[in-house]
Every structure is written in C-alpha cells, then in structure tokens.
Amino acid sequence: MVDTVALLAAYDAQMRMPPGAVPAGVTHEYDGPVLRVVGAHVGRVRAPRDIGVTGAALDRLIARQRDYFRARGQGVEWKVRAHDLPTDLPERLVAAGFVPGAPSAVLIGVSDEVAAEPVLPGGVLLREVSEPDDMRRIADQQTAVWGFDCSWVASDLTTRVDAGPGEITILVAEAGGRVVCSAWVIYHPGSDFVALLGGTTLPDWRGRGLYGALLGARAQKAAARGFRLLHVDASPDSAPILRRRGFQEITASRHYHWNPPE
C-alpha cells in the first residue's frame, strides 16, 4: 500500500515554495505568509498549506497581491490546493476578482518505478536540448497544441537554463525535423522531488506512446540524480496515463487568475 498521507506531507513540506536558482529578471518577495514571484510572463503567488490569516485580514492580503500586479500592468495567478486553509480562500479570491482555472490532479510517482528506456515510433528521434532556437521551436509546438500564444515558454525555458543548467532537462521528440512532443523536468535541490512539466504532443501524433516515452526518460534522469519522487499537476488527458504508471493522487490544485482590465 502506498502511504499517500506521507506523500502529501512531503509535498507540503518541500514543494510549496520554488527552490533552486532564480532566473534572471525574476525576484521573490514575501508579503507576510505568501511569496510573490515577480518578473516572469505572469505574476505568481505561492503560499503554505495554512496561510494563517482569515477574514478581513485575508481579504486585505489578497487585495495587496492583486493591486501590486495591477500597478505593474500584469496578470497574476494564485495556486490553491484542495486541502489548503483557510477553506474559504477560493471564495475570497473570487470575490477579489480572481477567476478559477480548470482543476488539476496532483499526482506523485516513484522515479525508480516509472523510469523506463524510451520506446519511440519509427522515424522519431529523442533529443535533450538547451539552445534558444530549440526553445522557440518548443514554444511554437506548444502554441500549435493549445491554440493560444505560448511564445513566453521560449524565454521561460531559456532563463531557467541560464540560471541553473543543472536544475532542468528539456527533451523533444522530433519527426522529420518537426517537434512532435516536448517535455521537461525541473530538479528541486535539497528535496526528494522533481517536477514534470510540458508533456505536450501534437494532435496527429497522439496515441503512439510519445508522452509515455518522455515520461519514462524523465524518470530515468530523476532517478540517476537521486531524486526519489516525481510530481505532476496533471490534466484530465495525462492523468490516466500517469495513474497506469503507478502515480498516486494526493490532492487537487487550481490556479486562480486575475488580469488587469484592457
């Protein structure tokens, strides 16, 4: 039996605040119990499981984050987990003008159990990349998949590589020189965890095992570096694949977005 209670406790202790190298142009600023991540394509707010502030004081804390990014002319996202406290945090965010995104399943896997040599379809090449041109190609591929502008992904990945090249591995599956699937893994130094991100496949290449191949390859990378646990905020498309590979759901997460009026 998997001890999901212990996994959740480890997640809360180690994965709440972003560790590791801070990309150029990004700053971390505390406002009481919450951390503002400033300078990326969108502002972010991260918090402990229990913010420790309630009622009118919580409303003021929320308003300060919104107004801080309003003054910058920038949007902000506040990440909330289903077991966070106080329990009325989501309602208070909505009352302050934040809009909830779709929920994700927070899944944890064991790297040694998920690691596998990638098996790719004929004509597909798996590469580890780090050059800016490849980051732009990944951003174009992500834009094609999601149907909205993901050009920010190129600068986000490039600045992560520049800030801490040993803290990220970026993989692409290519066919005929075209990026058909991309994914990356971020290593959290001093923790048991890596975060698996990206994991996006072009529609006409789905169902051929590319997501699973890059999943196994990323787990191999994590295990080789001594990271025991794999973390994914999984969409409904990827969650079934991850569960079949032994990932356990420990909670759910949701981003609450506020954007300045146009």
pLDDT 10s digits, 146-173: 999 999 999 999 999 999 999 999 999 9
pLDDT 10s digits, 228-251: 999 999 999 899 999 999 999 999
pLDDT at residue 20 in the model: 75
Mean pLDDT for 19-35 is: 88
Question: Percentage of the chain surpassing pLDDT 90?
Answer: 91
**Tokens representing residue 102 in the block:** 């779709």
How is the chain split into domains, by residue range? 4-103+254-258, 109-252
Cβ atoms of residues 83 and 260 within 8 Å: no
DSSP per position, 107-161: EEEEHHHH-------TTEEEEEE-SHHHHHHHHHHHHHHHSS--THHHHHHHHHH
pLDDT at residue 1 in the model: 62
Query: Yes or no: is domain 109-252 CATH 3.20.20.140?
Result: no
The model carries a pTM of 0.93
Q: How far apart are CA 85 and CA 80, in angstroms?
A: 9
Q: Chain-wide mean pLDDT for the chain? A: 95
